[in-house]
Amino acid sequence: MQYGDSRLLQESFRGVIASNISVEGLVLQGGRLHAMSQPNSSSMRDDFAPFYAGEVNSPWIAYFGGNYTPNDNLGFSLYTSRIKDAWNQYYAGTT
């Protein structure tokens, strides 16, 4: 999730995010967000509204994934996310 800061009122989010770094080189992250503020209002809405494909009101967004870096020269990433009733996205990457 990325907030937009192109207006006077920045977007903000409400929900739960967890991160685990108990294994060296492995970072696991996940979360479920259930409200956001729009750039034209300071109040929190109960729905998410992604605008890049037309407005779709959705009650939540969730994601899970992680990064694994076995050494200084190699890294892997794998993530999945979903906005209910709007889209599912997947990401895999290497460095």
pLDDT at 13 over 90: no
Please indicate, yes or no, if residue 6 is contained in any of the structural domains.
no
Please indicate, yes or no, if residue 18 is contained in any of the structural domains.
yes
pLDDT at 32 over 70: yes
Give the alpha-carbon dihedral of 31, 77, 75, 17, to 10 degrees.
Answer: 0
Which ranges of 26-94 does DSSP label H, i.e. alpha helix? Answer: none
Please indicate, yes or no, if residue 5 is contained in any of the structural domains.
no
pTM of the model: 0.75
Please indicate, yes or no, if residue 1 is contained in any of the structural domains.
no
* Helix, strand counts (H, E) of the chain: 0, 6
pLDDT at 20 over 80: yes
- Tens of pLDDT, residue by residue over 46-91, are 666 666 655 667 788 899 999 999 999 999 999 999 988 778 999 9
Burial 8-28 (b: 16+ CB within 10 A, else e): eeebebeeeeeeeeeeeeeee
What total number of domains does the chain contain? Answer: 1
Please indicate, yes or no, if residue 4 is contained in any of the structural domains.
no
User: Which phi and psi angles does 43 have, rounded to 5°?
Assistant: -85, 155
Please indicate, yes or no, if residue 47 is contained in any of the structural domains.
yes
With beta carbons less than 8 A apart as the criterion, state whether 63 and 81 touch: yes
For 33, the domain range is 13-94
Confidence at residue 26, expressed as pLDDT on a 0 to 100 scale: 97
**Residue with more model confidence, 10 or 64:** 64
Please indicate, yes or no, if residue 81 is contained in any of the structural domains.
yes
pLDDT at 27 over 60: yes
